Amino acid sequence: MLLSTEEFVLLSLGFFVIATLYSSVGFGGGSSYLALLTLFLSGFFAIRSIALVCNLVVVSGSSYLYFKNGHSDFKKFLPFVLSSIPMAFIGASFRLQEHVFFVLLGFSLVISSIFLAWQTFTFSNTSDKVKSYPKYLTAVLGGGIGLLSGLVGIGGGIFLAPILNHLQWDKSIKIAALASFFILVNSISGLAGLVQGEMLNLPWKETLGLVVAVLLGGQLGIRLSLKRLSPIGIKRVTALLVFAVGIRLLIKYLPHLS
């Protein structure tokens, strides 16, 4: 294994907590998986690959349960999905230099931590009023977030959901269902892009253990979500930790761009 037993246990526990937390609001946890993996692994192909696989495992179960409980409106989801899939594939296909990748990741983690913190307030204050928006706007939004998700190895739901809550695009539970499905298709597209670019790197022992951890956490979190339980305090702490890791990456790798 690439990790010691102690490191692997600690990382698996972290992944379990993240999957529980993020799946409770329809996310896969990709930004926090990346944040943790950067502390334990140095290979950025492996970091991107493992994060996308764990994202996929979590949101597959979440998407199914949202659909089963009648919260998925695929007609409304379509503009986001159709534009995001090719862009996520394109983003994942780019063979970035290591320092460029980590700078992009650092900025993405800082931004996603802000979005995650914003999400805790948005979920509390969103009214039941729903507004309509043109399909081209949703397509542009989906494509832009899809490209970013492919570049850095996240599903993009952590950016999409707070924006849609702010825009009052639909009820919170419907937005969570969309975020989950959005992450699902972008994770698949991102993995396909890594395969096409010959950048997929999955150390099987670490990947298998982490997949089990997020599978268990994801199933727990989505069930808490459907019971309307939202661990807001934990999400805010998680946002702070992700922010700190993002800043750490920028301090370490940003000077290498000059």
pLDDT at 96: 84
Q: Are 67 and 167 contacting, i.e. CB atoms less than 8 angstroms apart?
A: no
d(CA 63, CA 220): 14
Tell me the mean pLDDT in the region 197-219: 93
Q: Are 150 and 92 contacting, i.e. CB atoms less than 8 angstroms apart?
A: yes
pLDDT at 226: 66
Q: Are 214 and 32 contacting, i.e. CB atoms less than 8 angstroms apart?
A: no
Distances (CA, A) of 36 to 1, 7, 33, 69, 210: 17, 11, 5, 32, 12
Assess whether pLDDT exceeds 80 at residue 127. Answer: no
Copy the structure tokens of residue 111: 């931004």
Across the chain, mean pLDDT equals 86
User: What pLDDT, in 10s, does the model give residues 141-153?
Assistant: 999 999 998 988 8
d(CA 219, CA 236): 21
* Residue of 210 and 253 predicted with greater confidence: 210
User: What pLDDT, in 10s, does the model give residues 100-126?
Assistant: 888 998 898 898 888 878 877 755 554
